[in-house]
């Protein structure tokens, strides 16, 4: 058989290598900490869901459902329920809230989760087919204070990471009481210009004219400036919610920009919507995270009407922006101690010594057959704190030469004293 070309990751999928993962862990750690500080409880929902949950939840006419869903073929053994890889977590979390009877305890229920989502879009910078989200949801209360809380929590997350260049875009898109009349006005406004629109946007004009407002098409960008604004057309309840939310955000000192063209790409939103945009994420990919209120979603999924609000932040894009701001990822932490046996036949001693030292710190033994010079060169560039070197004679005397790789200082240390010494050294685990 002739050799084949090396197999590569599937398009749009990527590996997170150790150095990339150090920022990743930091971003996720800060998310978890922020969620816990606000009393959110962690939940895990499956990556596979019934297709109907996503189609009805996210909306059959959205790009996500129309173009980006990974559908799973039933296996040979059967399984006729069509399944999909989840493109987002909200619909699954709402389903779990009812199935897990969380609706029967004290309300609202504050939840958070994180994990991979899947959307089959054309891959480009900041857009992947498997990506991860940090997701928070508050289910069971319609009050604007919960919208403000989720915004404050997520704003605090970005602040804790020290991420600059963010703008918080805010809008209200009304509800079932006021939106239909507004949509009629919007259609009336755009219809005379339909000939200037592409086929997709002409279709949206009839099915979901709100989406014309956030189109990147220069014709629409120009036309929307004079379009009627939904925030001028809210019913009294939506208007009161909108005013109270802004008062809460003002009191919290959170800067936001009112963006009448922000409508979001998923169908379940009512009233509040928001997005965190980053200046250096280009074009369509400038959203770092987004959320909103979705008071009608539970009913769409066949459950009792239940108001809710939530947010999802893209971890991939957040890590990308943070690394860019810092001039590259921080390297993954190396082990603190490298054990460098000098000569053959020392594996057993090195493994035993490493085992003892691991009681107090991280240790890697270099079992390779390279020369000591080569091992030392590797140790010098590794970022490790110490190297412990020993040859056959030293193994018989049960000692190592312990070298401080920063200062170059070296001293002889007995095997039995090594763990205690590492423990108490400046910069050591103690
Ligand atoms: P979304 O705006 O579709 O909202 O996604 C949230 C974030 O996920 C985006 O701002 C972006 O950072 C990230 N993201 C989305 N697609 C990709 C992709 N292909 N590659 C990389 N990152 C991506 C939602 O998913 C809603 N479930 C948010 C929500 C929760 N609303 C209420 N509760």
Residue 132 Cβ contacting ligand 1 at under 6 Å: no
Question: CB count, 10 Å around CB of 306?
Answer: 23
Q: For residue 430, what pLDDT is reported?
A: 41
**Confidence bin at 283 (pLDDT 50/70/90):** low
Please tell me the distance between residue 312's alpha carbon and the centre of ligand 1 in angstroms. Answer: 6
What is the spatial distance between Cα 188 and Cα 64, in angstroms, rounded to a whole number?
27
Please tell me the distance between residue 149's alpha carbon and the centre of ligand 1 in angstroms. Answer: 19
Please tell me the distance between residue 289's alpha carbon and the centre of ligand 1 in angstroms. Answer: 6
Cβ–Cβ < 8 Å for 252, 154:
no
Mean pLDDT, residues 326-340 taken together: 92
Residue 59 Cβ contacting ligand 1 at under 6 Å: no
Residue nearest to atom 30 of ligand 1 (CA): 311
Cβ–Cβ < 8 Å for 370, 323:
no
pLDDT tens digits for 142-174?
999 999 999 999 999 999 999 999 999 999 999
Q: For residue 282, what pLDDT is reported?
A: 65
Residue 269 Cβ contacting ligand 1 at under 6 Å: no
Q: For residue 321, what pLDDT is reported?
A: 94
Please tell me the distance between residue 133's alpha carbon and the centre of ligand 1 in angstroms. Answer: 7
Mean pLDDT, residues 122-132 taken together: 94
Cβ–Cβ < 8 Å for 25, 17:
no
Please tell me the distance between residue 114's alpha carbon and the centre of ligand 1 in angstroms. Answer: 12
Q: For residue 38, what pLDDT is reported?
A: 98
Helices (H), 230-383: 236-251, 297-300, 315-326, 347-357, 372-380
Three-state DSSP class for residue 69: coil
Residue 172 Cβ contacting ligand 1 at under 6 Å: no
pLDDT tens digits for 166-192?
999 999 999 999 999 999 999 999 999
Mean pLDDT of all residues in the chain?
93
Q: For residue 162, what pLDDT is reported?
A: 96
What is the spatial distance between Cα 222 and Cα 235, in angstroms, rounded to a whole number?
27
Mean pLDDT, residues 401-429 taken together: 88
Q: Given ligand 1 and candidates 125, 290, 291, which is best to mutate, with the most ligand atoms within 8 Å of its CB?
A: 290
Please tell me the distance between residue 313's alpha carbon and the centre of ligand 1 in angstroms. Answer: 6
Three-state DSSP class for residue 359: coil
| Closest-CA residue to 386 (of 370, 417, 408) | 408
Please tell me the distance between residue 240's alpha carbon and the centre of ligand 1 in angstroms. Answer: 28
Mean pLDDT, residues 224-242 taken together: 96
159 CB contacts (<8 Å, ≥6 apart)? Answer: none
277, β-bridge pairs: 167, 287
Q: Where are the beta strands (DSSP E) in 11-70?
A: 41-42, 48-50
What is the spatial distance between Cα 428 and Cα 149, in angstroms, rounded to a whole number?
41
Residue 133 Cβ contacting ligand 1 at under 6 Å: yes
pTM value is: 0.92
Mean pLDDT, residues 54-63 taken together: 89
Cβ–Cβ < 8 Å for 169, 281:
no
Please tell me the distance between residue 376's alpha carbon and the centre of ligand 1 in angstroms. Answer: 47
What is the spatial distance between Cα 120 and Cα 130, in angstroms, rounded to a whole number?
8
Residue 291 Cβ contacting ligand 1 at under 6 Å: yes
Mean pLDDT, residues 205-217 taken together: 91
**Confidence bin at 75 (pLDDT 50/70/90):** low
Which is the closest atom of ligand 1 to the Cα of 132? 22
Q: Are strands 48-50 and 83-85 parallel, antiparallel or unpaired?
A: antiparallel
Residue nearest to atom 2 of ligand 1 (CA): 290
| Length of the chain (residues) | 430
**Confidence bin at 88 (pLDDT 50/70/90):** very high
Residue 90 Cβ contacting ligand 1 at under 6 Å: yes
| H helix count then E strand count, the chain | 15, 16
Q: Which residue has the tokens 């009294």?
A: 236
Please tell me the distance between residue 316's alpha carbon and the centre of ligand 1 in angstroms. Answer: 11
Token reading at 103: 């609706």
Residue 87 Cβ contacting ligand 1 at under 6 Å: no
- 59 φψ region: left (φ > 0), alpha (ψ -120 to 50), beta (else): left
Residue 147 Cβ contacting ligand 1 at under 6 Å: no
What is the spatial distance between Cα 23 and Cα 18, in angstroms, rounded to a whole number?
10
Cβ–Cβ < 8 Å for 173, 186:
no
């Amino acid at each position: 058989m002739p050799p084949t070309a090396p197999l590569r990751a599937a398009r749009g999928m990527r590996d997170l290598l150790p150095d990339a993962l150090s920022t990743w862990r930091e971003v996720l750690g800060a998310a978890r900490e922020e969620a816990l500080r606000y009393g959110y409880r962690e939940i895990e929902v499956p990556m596979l869901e019934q297709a109907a949950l996503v189609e009805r939840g996210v909306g059959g006419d959205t790009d996500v459902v129309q173009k980006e869903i990974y559908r799973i073929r039933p296996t040979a053994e059967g399984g006729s329920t069509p399944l999909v890889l989840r493109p987002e977590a909200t619909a699954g979390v709402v389903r779990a809230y009812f199935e897990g009877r969380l609706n029967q305890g004290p309300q609202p229920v504050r939840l958070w989760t994180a994990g991979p989502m899947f959307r089959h879009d054309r891959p480009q910078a900041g857009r992947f087919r498997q990506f991860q989200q940090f997701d928070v949801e508050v289910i069971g209360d319609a009050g604007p204070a919960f919208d403000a809380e989720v915004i404050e929590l997520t704003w605090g997350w970005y602040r804790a990471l020290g991420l600059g260049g963010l703008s918080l875009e805010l809008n209200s898109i009304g509800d079932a009481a006021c939106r239909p009349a507004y949509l009629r006005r919007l259609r009336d406004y755009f219809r005379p210009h339909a000939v200037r629109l592409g086929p997709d946007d002409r279709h949206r004009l009839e099915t979901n004219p709100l989406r014309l407002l956030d189109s990147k098409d220069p014709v629409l960008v120009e036309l929307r400036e004079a379009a009627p604004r939904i925030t001028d057309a809210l019913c009294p309840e939506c208007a009161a919610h909108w005013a109270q939310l802004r008062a809460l955000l003002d009191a919290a000192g959170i800067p936001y920009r009112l963006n009448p063209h922000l409508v979001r790409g998923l169908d379940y939103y009512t009233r509040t919507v928001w997005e965190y945009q980053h200046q250096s994420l280009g074009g369509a990919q400038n959203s770092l995270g987004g959320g909103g209120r979705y008071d009608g979603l539970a009913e769409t999924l066949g459950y009792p009407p239940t108001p809710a609000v939530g947010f999802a932040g893209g971890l991939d894009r957040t890590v990308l922006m943070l690394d860019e701001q810092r001039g590259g990822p921080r390297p993954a932490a190396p082990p603190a101690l490298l054990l460098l046996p000098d000569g053959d036949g020392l594996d057993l001693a090195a493994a035993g010594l490493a085992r003892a030292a691991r009681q107090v710190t991280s240790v890697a033994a270099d079992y390779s057959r390279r020369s000591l010079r080569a091992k030392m060169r590797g140790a010098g560039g590794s970022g490790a704190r110490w190297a412990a070197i020993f040859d056959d004679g030293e193994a018989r005397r049960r000692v190592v030469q312990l070298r401080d790789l920063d200062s170059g200082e070296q001293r002889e240390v007995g095997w039995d004293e090594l763990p205690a010494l590492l423990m108490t050294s400046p910069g050591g685990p103690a």
